[in-house]
Structure 1
Amino acid sequence: MPDSLRLPRPGRVLRRAALAVSLLLSGVLTAGQVIAPAVASAATVSTSITVDGSRSGRVFDGVGAASGGGGNSRLLIDYPEPQRSQLLDYLFKPGYGASLQSLKIEIGGDTNSTDGAEPSYQHTKGTVDCNQGYEWWLAEQAKLRNPNIKLYGLAWGAPGWIGVNDPANPSPGQPYFWSQDMIDYLVGWFGCAAQHHLPIDYIGGWNEREYNATWYKDFKAALVASGHGGTKVVAADSYDWNLASDMAADPQLNAAIDVVGMHYPCGYLGAMSTCNSTPAAQALGKPIWASESGSQDYDTGAQAVARAINRDYIDGKMTSYMNWPVIAALYQNLFFSTDGLSMATQPWSGSYSLGRTTWVTAHTTQFTQPGWQYLDQASGYLGGNRADGSYVSLRSPNTSDYSTVIETVDATAAQSATFTVAGGLSTGQVHVWATNLNSTNPADYFVHTQDLTPVRGSYTLTLQPGYVYTVSTTTGQGKGTATAPAPAPLNLPYADGFDTPAASTSPKYFSDMNGAFQTVGCGGGRTGSCLRQMAPAAPIHWTDEANKAPYTIVGDSTWVDYTAAADTLFEQPGAAEVLGRVNQQGRNDNGLNAYHLRLSDTGTWSILKSDLNWNFTTLASGTVPAPGLNSWHHLALTMQGPTLTAAIDGTTVGTVTDYSFTSGMAGLALTGYQTQQFDNLALTPGTGSGTSFTGQVPSGVTGKCLDDSGNSAADGSKVIIWTCDPTDPAQTWTWNNGQLQHNGKCLDVIGAATASGTLVDQWTCNGGGNQQWTVQSDGTLKGVQSGLCLDDPAASTTDGTQLIIWTCTGAANQRWTLP
């Protein structure tokens, strides 16, 4: 009988069953990705809801999401077909998935704006290129699927020429955002929108940088004068409602601002259970929005998003919810790598994953449209109690249709809601859709559960805890059926000569972290296309990292032993770098674990390592004949185990031993904002690359082995320690490209969390950084995403102890022997 079909020994099954019962009774068995469906008792709360079409409320402005701030959509454009179109359909196609009603796009500024940098359409004053980046492409795709989608532009940074000579500049000679240059820059951006046949419905100022009242007045006047007076100005896209009070006191400022937008009115990275605005904001008589919210995991953040979409209006009369970001299409070494409505991190394999947040969003967007009206008398809290859940009702402006969206995220028991329909609204059949947020089975998301026919205008619905429901007279809803292929590594060797056109002006799979790397004609007498850093001066930055130098990354974080090589040309004095074993990046680019081979135009070279605080350590250094300007030179950094070897123009110049980083991606970098060039990127495997094994993984705790509880193939099965038994299939693991796999599932940090103490289990392999591990020189296994080590808590010797991640110490309970 094959091992995969062999059953565990009966005694072991009983021991594990007893352990499970013990843990359940003790309350330990509560964490994990698989949550049992709630068992509801008889309804204890009853709510009467009168949906009266003659009553009033504010006008609904839609639910949307942001592409920008920054780089979170970067990998989407490089996805192959049909997966790319499937993802776009799940985001924008009506009656299919999230069915987004608005899209905020970043107005690129050549600077990091959270998890990457987006290019400016005007790196130098007067030189316009309306095809930079991928935001125009994304907006076109959104409009193609939903012609009614609203578009909203916002800047996080700006190129370095902005405001340098502005007389109001408090730092003369330095870039200055609140300038006439910036107004002209934004008005010019409308010209690019016109080239792409994209109407811009809303425009903002500077993301999360408060506001300048005089600038907004001048900006509004410039929009009107240039023929864009129909575009509404949103401000201040910041963290408070202070602008609303100032608008009330300043009629000119009030006239300049059409929509008051606040970020995270429900709180940041929390439950988003209370979502207040201010009386001053509500008294303006203008739309008030949660113009950025979310920042939640694409799957586990669904509960918070469900609360916020409803409670923004109930608590604060906000009429639009804008999720940040639209999609997690970015590398998994970045800080916000799983935030969005879906996750798409492997364009080379086409693999992607839809989150519950997609379906929570659909419960509003597939049953309403901007222009519908909230019904205040039919919106509130179930039983008058926040803990039981919330509901909002909206009616169509031109028909008798209505929809009510209900969430019972925090409820602990079944409830009932009795609806009475009045005021000219349809008393015909209503359709009930439901999502079970306590389930990990996608079949339980966005399900058409039943149709109800009101009796004398009334009907009653039973509400289970942990659900989102929509009750609607509308039809046309649907749930897409496209499925993604399995994840797979990006195999070495990998090369890019930059001559093959990519889907955007960036090379395929390259993601800029600062600066703007674009394929252009080569310099130095070389034919063909090369990669050039296009920003000639430091931009107006949004993030506050200590090292703001341009760099771009590419590849697979599971690469271990390989050579990263490229040609470089110095257009200006400065230094260029090849990066290797690029793994975790600090939040907002505030550090990077990586090795650097650096060469300057004067001939100095060095091997360096950087850390998550941008501390640089020189591991080796020296000099070679000065490369000078406008000639090509070859850099190669070989990483074989702990040995790092630097070669320049084919000659080895230095070797050093360092144990800090054992795997990671590749990259190209500069030390300042020069317009240097690169060509012929080549990533070739070393002798240890791609090795795999199958067998036991003994712990440093004597006699204990890595074990899958019950030898299960189910998602959420606990990963534990157990007495080593070479005949037990539950202890057979396969190491493959930085992943530990059992029964086809991957060793996984639950919820992609990064906190010490987070439990690990096994889960369907998805390429996430929470499923990737690097072998350290001391035998520890460090998580690529968290930077923490696989840990047997308190060095327990109790069979069945579930493993966690913890700060790396190198102690025995964190050491694992890989065959």
Structure 2
Amino acid sequence: MRSLPRTLLAVLLLCLSLTTVPQVAAATRAAPEPASAAVTTDITVDGASPGRVFDGVGAISGGGGNTRLLLDYPEPQRAQILDHLFKPGYGAALQILKVEVGGDTNSTDGAESSIEHTRGSVNCSNGYEWWLMEQAKARNPGIKLAALSWGAPGWVGNGNFWSQDMIDYLMSWLGCAKQHHLTIDYLGGWNERGFNAAWYKNLHATLAAKGYATKVVGADDGWQIATAMRADSGLNAAVDIVGAHYPCGYMSAMTSCSTTPDALATGKQLWASENGSEDAATGAVPMARAINRGYLDAKMTAFINWPVVAALYPNLSFNSMGLVTANQPWSGAYSVDRSAWATAQTTQFTAPGWQYLDTASGYLGGNRATGSYVSYAAPGRAAWSTVFETMDATAAQTVTLKVAGGLPAGAPHVWSTDFSSNGATAHLVPEPDLTATSGTYRLTLQPGHLYTVTTTTGQGAGTVASPQRTPLALPYADSLAGTATGQEARYVAAMNGAFETVPCAGGRTGRCLRQQAPTTPIRWTDESTPQPYALMGDVNWTNYTVRSDALLEQSGAVELLGRVGTQGRNNNGLNAYHLRVADTGAWSLLRTDTTWSSTTLASGTVTAPGPKTWHTLALTFQGATITAKLDGTTLATVTDNSYGAGQIGLGTAGYYGAQFANLSITPGPTAPLDGTYQLVNAHSGQLLDASGQGTADGTPIIQWPGNGGANQQWKLASTGDGYYTVTGAASGKHLDVPDRSVVPGTQLNLWAATGGTNQQWRVTPGARDCYVLESRLDGHLVDVSGGSLVMGAQVIQWPANGGANQCWRLMKVG
């Protein structure tokens, strides 16, 4: 679930995105050649057609803290992002929002707070999902709300999820929803952990007894529950909707979708209750297929994408998945990605409760390689829409449409989105209305497009522009009081446990940040070191001192983390340095990696600080020198160059109460990098190279063995605000992301200076004396495609993953 080897992921994403179009060619790109035998598909959109009821297209907030940073975005950018997700006629216009029921445990890329850390103590203000649901409802009162658990507090069932305690916990959570004036339409069990028939029966009965009309979704895993439902009438009655995960393939092209005979035979609504897990840009093409083909192949009536937004730090595993990317709350920068527009081509033209029209849905020309179409009718046949996708088509084709069965005719409107290149997407473009000739409408479909033909109105695409990306400036300070009790402090993202603001202890006034989870939760992940910790800050911070006051409420240890880099998938490790101090006075300075392998760099004992008293922990990083201090006294100074930059973190060595306050990060001196260098890939040992010694605009960038050529020399020049231009010594032209593409896998090239953010790079120390180059345009890194060792391999942009093929040694020239 939600994991692939790096090389396989590279191949998949490169296959899913179409061939990069260099800037020099983009302006003269010819229209597709017509096929020798043109495809024509005749469709009658008939209101009398049979078909299932459409439940909607939605997305998931949770299964990791993928929405966490959105809460801290400034206005007006936060409202703009929310509008692009939920506002009808503006962006993705989501019809279903599915949220995580917080359980204080890591659930992929973070942990969400429980409403009940200890039995009987319910706080309905905890977490940010209430806020998100309220924002969604304010923009679209008709949106459907769903909820699902990935884990649970440790007290539940004494560690048994399938317990009465868990039913009671969910009822408390639904009670909190009521307090927030939210109606939860759908509720599931335990994400991807199978099912317990007796528990589902109990859940259904309890919901009814308490007067909830909430429908039960089972089992948010495979289709196995459907087989059990066929043999168990009680379970069949208890499950309202059969929801399967990734029925169109996990991180795949989603060319086909599947169900089972038992699932179809239940007669229940069938959902792709989690699908996607695709990059926000390259995932649009698979999504376009799956929204249509889920119904055509498997009669699924809902498509729910994981996740809704990539509002999480870029050192986490699934940092590029979502409909909108928003990982810089300090700058307000965000991007509305292709997946949002793939969604919009259905959601802006339909609504839950519409009916699929089976006789007006199918594969273009009867061939799934040519594309698909799905038709919908509004209740009372008041309107209709047909969505066409031509993701795999290689030539233009024609469709003819006739209208029957009481549906309105007139002059249907046409909207389109172009995914045919890696360049900027033309999204949700109004095309000329169709005009009937002898009662027939004709439309030409180009390859790589989505089209919607509709009688509805009110559609559109938001046009606001994002600010540009900037570093999180140092010095930085935060009292950690947060905005309200029960919330995380600004930019702080829990990875395990629960970090919330509470009244300070130990004689300190105001609010402090407290680790709230008192026992190991019922976990979804399988990490070997499930201790609580939270991260914050800029992954590009290099030389700095981080300080925080800390108080232990009982015997144990607190931790201050620095130069935090890549986290292993599902929290199975972390590149970081840790200062750990126990109440006994024992301390250690540790280095961990992405497998949670730990190396002690220094250790010792000081006078016991004891619990319930405040002390100040500090870590200073200057080049390879690391200094640890407690209450201003140096504990150790060591030399280690494993990690050159990263965030900071706060944590505890176990599940118990500890408080933190007065966080500060002050910068140390950093030498400028201006100068001319060879850039040597840390994985392959080959150099960043302008292919064929080219100097023209559009010359592709590759890796090549060192040959002393000027096409392998690059001048770094500071822009004065934390970024650099990287200019070829031979060409005088900049390292450039073609067409300002945000698509992973896009090959970099040379281009004359434009001053654009696609020609600006943040150059930051990585692991063991190499550097990463991060694009100001979208945060992607300069990467050797697929980690290739082959000379001539493409140099592309790719989301951060900690790979050595994303790290470059700077070898000064002259």
Q: What is the aligned partner in structure 2 of residue 60 from structure 1?
A: 54
Q: Which amino acid aligns with 1:506?
A: E
Please give the alpha-carbon distance, in whole angstroms, between the structure 1 residues aligned to 2:150 and 2:657: 22
Q: What is the aligned partner in structure 2 of residue 10 from structure 1?
A: none
Q: Quote how far apart the aligned CAs of 1:420 are.
A: 1.8
1:352, 1:766 within 8 Å by CA — same for their partners in 2?
A: no
- CA-based RMSD of the aligned residues comes to 3.4
Q: What is the aligned partner in structure 2 of residue 626 from structure 1?
A: 608
Q: What is the aligned partner in structure 1 of residue 203 from structure 2?
A: 219
Q: Which amino acid aligns with 1:295?
A: S
Please give the alpha-carbon distance, in whole angstroms, between the structure 1 residues aligned to 2:380 and 2:762: 50
2:694, 2:711 within 8 Å by CA — same for their partners in 1?
A: no
Pick aligned residue for 2:311 from 329, 332, 352: 329
CA change 1:500–1:803 in 2 (3 A) is: closer
1:789, 1:814 within 8 Å by CA — same for their partners in 2?
A: no
Is 2:669 the partner of 1:687? Answer: yes
Q: What is the aligned partner in structure 2 of residue 562 from structure 1?
A: 544
Q: Which amino acid aligns with 1:116?
A: G
Where does 1:573-588 land on structure 2 (aligned, <5 Å)?
573-588=555-570
Q: Quote how far apart the aligned CAs of 1:793 are.
A: 6.7
1:575, 1:599 within 8 Å by CA — same for their partners in 2?
A: yes
Please give the alpha-carbon distance, in whole angstroms, between the structure 1 residues aligned to 2:485 and 2:132: 12
Please give the alpha-carbon distance, in whole angstroms, between the structure 2 residues aligned to 1:221 and 1:385: 46
Where does 1:797-812 land on structure 2 (aligned, <5 Å)?
802=795
Q: Which amino acid aligns with 1:202?
A: Y
Q: What is the aligned partner in structure 1 of residue 217 from structure 2?
A: 234
Q: What is the aligned partner in structure 2 of residue 602 from structure 1?
A: 584
Please give the alpha-carbon distance, in whole angstroms, between the structure 1 residues aligned to 2:375 and 2:189: 32
Q: What is the aligned partner in structure 2 of residue 98 from structure 1?
A: 92
Pick aligned residue for 1:144 from 113, 124, 138: 138
Please give the alpha-carbon distance, in whole angstroms, between the structure 1 residues aligned to 2:103 and 2:586: 31
Q: Quote how far apart the aligned CAs of 1:98 are.
A: 0.3
Q: Quote how far apart the aligned CAs of 1:88 are.
A: 0.4
CA change 1:759–1:436 in 2 (3 A) is: closer
CA change 1:61–1:656 in 2 (3 A) is: same
Q: How many residues align?
A: 770
Q: Quote how far apart the aligned CAs of 1:698 are.
A: 1.9
Please give the alpha-carbon distance, in whole angstroms, between the structure 1 residues aligned to 2:656 and 2:546: 22
Is 2:522 the partner of 1:530? Answer: no
Is 2:810 the partner of 1:816? Answer: yes
Q: What is the aligned partner in structure 1 of residue 656 from structure 2?
A: 674
Please give the alpha-carbon distance, in whole angstroms, between the structure 2 residues aligned to 1:532 and 1:652: 26
Q: What is the aligned partner in structure 2 of residue 541 from structure 1?
A: 523
Is 2:313 the partner of 1:319? Answer: no
Q: Which runs of 5+ in 1 are unaligned?
A: 1-28, 165-174
CA change 1:504–1:324 in 2 (3 A) is: farther
Please give the alpha-carbon distance, in whole angstroms, between the structure 2 residues aligned to 1:69 and 1:326: 11
Q: What is the aligned partner in structure 1 of residue 676 from structure 2?
A: 696
1:400, 1:425 within 8 Å by CA — same for their partners in 2?
A: yes
Q: Quote how far apart the aligned CAs of 1:399 are.
A: 3.2
Please give the alpha-carbon distance, in whole angstroms, between the structure 2 residues aligned to 1:740 and 1:623: 44
Please give the alpha-carbon distance, in whole angstroms, between the structure 2 residues aligned to 1:211 and 1:583: 36
Q: What SS does structure 2 have at the residue aligned with 1:817?
A: strand
Q: What is the aligned partner in structure 1 of residue 595 from structure 2?
A: 613
CA change 1:665–1:61 in 2 (3 A) is: same
Q: What SS does structure 2 have at the residue aligned with 1:192?
A: helix
Please give the alpha-carbon distance, in whole angstroms, between the structure 2 residues aligned to 1:352 and 1:717: 27
Pick aligned residue for 1:194 from 164, 170, 178: 178
Q: Quote how far apart the aligned CAs of 1:774 are.
A: 2.5
Report Cα offsets for 1:173-220 as digits up to 9, x if no partner.
xx1100000000001111100110001100111111110000000111
Q: Quote how far apart the aligned CAs of 1:694 are.
A: 3.0
2:701, 2:794 within 8 Å by CA — same for their partners in 1?
A: no
Please give the alpha-carbon distance, in whole angstroms, between the structure 2 residues aligned to 1:463 and 1:804: 31
1:558, 1:738 within 8 Å by CA — same for their partners in 2?
A: no
1:780, 1:810 within 8 Å by CA — same for their partners in 2?
A: no
Is 2:187 the partner of 1:207? Answer: no
Q: Quote how far apart the aligned CAs of 1:41 are.
A: 2.1
Q: What is the aligned partner in structure 1 of residue 370 from structure 2?
A: 388
Please give the alpha-carbon distance, in whole angstroms, between the structure 2 residues aligned to 1:362 and 1:448: 13
Report Cα offsets for 1:144-163 as digits up to 9, x if no partner.
00000000011110001100
Q: Quote how far apart the aligned CAs of 1:696 are.
A: 2.0
Q: Quote how far apart the aligned CAs of 1:453 are.
A: 1.8
Q: What is the aligned partner in structure 2 of residue 363 from structure 1?
A: 345
Q: Which runs of 5+ in 2 are unaligned?
A: 1-17, 728-732
Q: What is the aligned partner in structure 1 of residue 31 from structure 2?
A: 39
Q: Quote how far apart the aligned CAs of 1:48 are.
A: 1.2
Q: Which amino acid aligns with 1:538?
A: T
Q: What is the aligned partner in structure 1 of residue 572 from structure 2?
A: 590
Please give the alpha-carbon distance, in whole angstroms, between the structure 2 residues aligned to 1:503 and 1:411: 54
Please give the alpha-carbon distance, in whole angstroms, between the structure 2 residues aligned to 1:157 and 1:434: 41
Report Cα offsets for 1:352-402 as digits up to 9, x if no partner.
001111111000000001111001111111111111111101111123411
Please give the alpha-carbon distance, in whole angstroms, between the structure 2 residues aligned to 1:510 and 1:33: 40
Q: Quote how far apart the aligned CAs of 1:501 are.
A: 2.2
Q: What is the aligned partner in structure 2 of residue 477 from structure 1?
A: 459
Q: What is the aligned partner in structure 2 of residue 499 from structure 1?
A: 481
CA change 1:81–1:310 in 2 (3 A) is: same
CA change 1:635–1:191 in 2 (3 A) is: same
CA change 1:738–1:670 in 2 (3 A) is: farther
Q: Which amino acid aligns with 2:160?
A: Y
Q: Quote how far apart the aligned CAs of 1:299 are.
A: 1.0
Q: What is the aligned partner in structure 2 of residue 660 from structure 1?
A: 642
CA change 1:63–1:642 in 2 (3 A) is: same
Please give the alpha-carbon distance, in whole angstroms, between the structure 2 residues aligned to 1:193 and 1:398: 33
Pick aligned residue for 1:426 from 386, 408, 427: 408
Please give the alpha-carbon distance, in whole angstroms, between the structure 1 residues aligned to 2:743 and 2:426: 24
Please give the alpha-carbon distance, in whole angstroms, between the structure 1 residues aligned to 2:42 and 2:711: 61
Please give the alpha-carbon distance, in whole angstroms, between the structure 2 residues aligned to 1:223 and 1:109: 20
Report Cα offsets for 1:239-292 as digits up to 9, x if no partner.
x21111111111111110000000000010110111111121112111000000
TM-score (norm 1): 0.88
Q: What is the aligned partner in structure 1 of residue 164 from structure 2?
A: 180
2:481, 2:489 within 8 Å by CA — same for their partners in 1?
A: no
Please give the alpha-carbon distance, in whole angstroms, between the structure 1 residues aligned to 2:138 and 2:447: 38
Q: Quote how far apart the aligned CAs of 1:719 are.
A: 6.4
Please give the alpha-carbon distance, in whole angstroms, between the structure 2 residues aligned to 1:129 and 1:807: 36
Q: What is the aligned partner in structure 2 of residue 412 from structure 1?
A: 394
CA change 1:663–1:57 in 2 (3 A) is: same
CA change 1:33–1:260 in 2 (3 A) is: farther
Q: Which amino acid aligns with 2:396?
A: A
Deviates more, 1:458-467 or 1:737-746: 737-746
Q: Quote how far apart the aligned CAs of 1:446 are.
A: 1.0
Where does 1:213-292 land on structure 2 (aligned, <5 Å)?
213-228=197-212, 230-238=213-221, 240-292=222-274
1:63, 1:102 within 8 Å by CA — same for their partners in 2?
A: yes
Please give the alpha-carbon distance, in whole angstroms, between the structure 2 residues aligned to 1:157 and 1:437: 38
Q: What SS does structure 2 have at the residue aligned with 1:564?
A: strand
Please give the alpha-carbon distance, in whole angstroms, between the structure 2 residues aligned to 1:679 and 1:574: 18
TM-score (norm 2): 0.88
Q: What SS does structure 2 have at the residue aligned with 1:319?
A: strand
Q: Which amino acid aligns with 2:765?
A: T
1:553, 1:668 within 8 Å by CA — same for their partners in 2?
A: yes
Q: What is the aligned partner in structure 2 of residue 397 from structure 1?
A: 379
Q: Which amino acid aligns with 2:220?
A: D
Q: Quote how far apart the aligned CAs of 1:720 are.
A: 6.4
Report Cα offsets for 1:531-584 as digits up to 9, x if no partner.
110011110011111110000000000000111111111111111110000011
